[in-house]
Chains A and B, each alone.
Chain A
């Protein structure tokens, strides 16, 4: 399984997506995407049009990106901590904790578009309500994944611990916690993307500023180049967040099978 070919080289990891990306952008610029999806010029902007928007409106783009990114990040952190807490409690009290997880699933099941108006009424129409929405959805994903990590242990590992007469606390810190670290990262990978998206969808409903606010506005006016410039901003932030999580994951879970 250790084919140390050029594919595994670090350079390839960074270069390949970039090369692919450049090829894709060229394909797009010369009308490839429009031809492929039967789109007209006004349906979808060309890369040069999007770059043009960046060039002329970077201050506005930056302002709104910062707002939404802050909402997403703060919500992500708080939500992850809370979700983790719920999962830990659920694993400590396995019989009663189950209800907490069911509650998480229930919250996860509420559509964002329904959460947004409620949060707006509770926390006003500024950043607070958007952060609240992000918290709710991040909490659920983190709780579900972490719970799995805490309870699905390698076979016989629990028996081993018991044979050492380990206390519940010791089992927790020496076995369950390290075991759930990969699950935490799996959850983070999903929640980093959903946090940005949740914040944006929450902004669609009622807001003062932010990427969602702008995307909604400009797309309704048919200004697709502007709209996609904002979408590009959100995508870039999402990728950066994801990359940070990936890098941290690589450092922290060197021992796990997925890292070999």
Chain B
């Protein structure tokens, strides 16, 4: 009854081709079939975007690398903050009940409001970028890890309780390992967010990075331009890459997760 598993690479290839076809057709349709005015500002041809992307590849790659490094630093700090917060909230119910509403409130504050305060605290430039990236990305990590702690099988907790295990040991041996999968889910959601945050800040004023290229492209050529879309493609790839990196780390840290996943999928 077990079907032969289709190669993942083929799946992705099929999907990419599928998207390509749908996109090309849509771009064609709005120009020749549907009565839409100024189709050029709406959707450029996919092949046009791809060509422009490769024409500017070195440039885009260099800019993306800058953004990636900045975001990476923000991500590490953000994850650390998220872990600490989740840990504190799991350790003490009092802290959780008090802090949670404020955590959410904090997430609701747009970067524009935070930026002046952050600038005052850490000065401008790279440090501010890293700080703001961290602030934007810690929330998914905190929420997911906290849920991970909460979801630990009650029977297991009670077992350890019956052994009179001290709280720190319970955490070390049970809670943290069990919550790791959730932590990585959170990190996978946070990683692209950090990239987005870094790009956002680059768009506010910077000398390098993919965000700056996006701003230039937008300003001089509008949102339908091939370069703009190439930059977005680069940004999307960057975001996905960050998720992939997290997945790789996940596979090393919790190899048993993969086994469980396979079972659940079949």
Contact = CB atoms under 8 A, between A and B. Distances in A.
A235 B235 contact: no
Contact of B112 (A121, A190, A216): A216
A158 B112 contact: no
B49 interface: no
Given A98-B8, A117-B223, A204-B112, A106 B239 contact: yes
Interface string B174-198: 0000000100010011001001100
A148 B185 contact: yes
B5 to A, nearest CB: 6
Interface in A189-208: 189-190, 193, 196-197, 200-201, 204
Contacts of B117: 37, 39, 43-44
Interface stretch (A10-18, A46-54, A56-64, A81-89): A10-18
A136 B43 CA distance: 17
A149 to B, nearest CB: 10
A76 to B, nearest CB: 14
A26 interface: no
A201 B110 contact: yes
A182 interface: yes
B231 A114 contact: yes
Contact of A239 (B105, B140, B143): B105
Interface stretch (B11-19, B54-62, B73-81, B126-134): B11-19
A151 B261 contact: yes
A144 B188 contact: yes
Interface residues of B, number: 78
B96 to A, nearest CB: 10
Contact of A1 (B139, B140, B161): B161
A43 B120 contact: yes
Given A44-B117, A96-B11, A109 B266 contact: no
Interface string A206-227: 0000001001100100000001
Nearest to A151: B264
Interface string A98-142: 111011011111111110011011100000000000000000010
B264 A109 contact: no
Interface of B: 3, 5-6, 8, 11-12, 14-15, 18-19, 41-43, 93-94, 97-98, 100-102, 104-105, 107-113, 116-117, 120-121, 139-140, 143-144, 147, 150-154, 157-158, 161, 181, 185, 188-189, 192, 195-196, 199-200, 203, 211, 214, 218, 223-224, 228, 231-232, 235-240, 242-243, 260-261, 263-266
17 contacts: A17-B98, A24-B102, A37-B121, A43-B120, A91-B265, A106-B236, A107-B236, A110-B196, A110-B239, A141-B189, A152-B261, A155-B263, A196-B108, A215-B113, A231-B113, A239-B104, A257-B154
